[in-house]
Amino acid sequence: MALEARICPKCGSRGLVPIEADRKCFCGGTEIIFNVTKEQYVKMSDYEINKMIEEMNIQPIISNEDAHTIYDVTHSTEIIDAMIELKQKDIIEYGLKLSQFKNQLEQRNQVNQQEQNQVHCPRCGSANITAGQRGYSLLTGFVGSGSTVNRCANCGHKWKP
């Protein structure tokens, strides 16, 4: 697969992209092709790439990190455009809105982390799990006083943790 080096003048996103790929960046900007080969681009340092971007007079309107934050929360290039407009009109309000997006993203990441840490059924993947005691103890004689067993409330699969 043939690759070419591109940069987005809107958010500064850059990298190697398949030649056949759409020239639209995730932020909605139209990517510009660097005038270097794939091999040259791979060997270039960040300093050299930044110098080339400067020589091309490309000054991203919004940082790549900010654009990713906004897009990850909203999945909307229109909101990125609105935030760019807000940044140009009122940088303080832009900063406040951006911090709200960052908070939303952080909350979502925390929920995702909690879900990943939750026990899941090895058979069906459900997180609806019950844990109970199982077995017969010689000391107490009660059923349920042995080892712990997980049971999936979805499919009924049982396993030891």
What pLDDT does 97 receive?
97
The residue among 24 and 157 whose pLDDT is bigger is 24
Domain ranges of the chain: 1-60, 63-117, 129-159
CA torsion, ordered 11, 74, 81, 63, to nearest 10 deg? -20
Contact 60, 9 (CB under 8 A): yes
Burial class (CB in 10 A: 0-12, 13-18, 19+), 27: buried
What is the arithmetic mean of pLDDT over 93-113? 94
Q: What is the DSSP letter of 27?
A: T
Helix, strand, coil share of the chain (percent; to 5): 40, 15, 40
Burial class (CB in 10 A: 0-12, 13-18, 19+), 63: middle
Contact 61, 93 (CB under 8 A): no
pLDDT tens-place string over residues 106-153: 999 998 887 777 787 888 888 888 876 555 555 555 555 556 788 888
For the whole prediction, is pTM greater than 0.95? no
Residue 24: CB atoms within 10 Å:
12
Amino acid in position 99? S
Q: How confident is the model at residue 1 (pLDDT cuts 50, 70, 90)?
A: confident
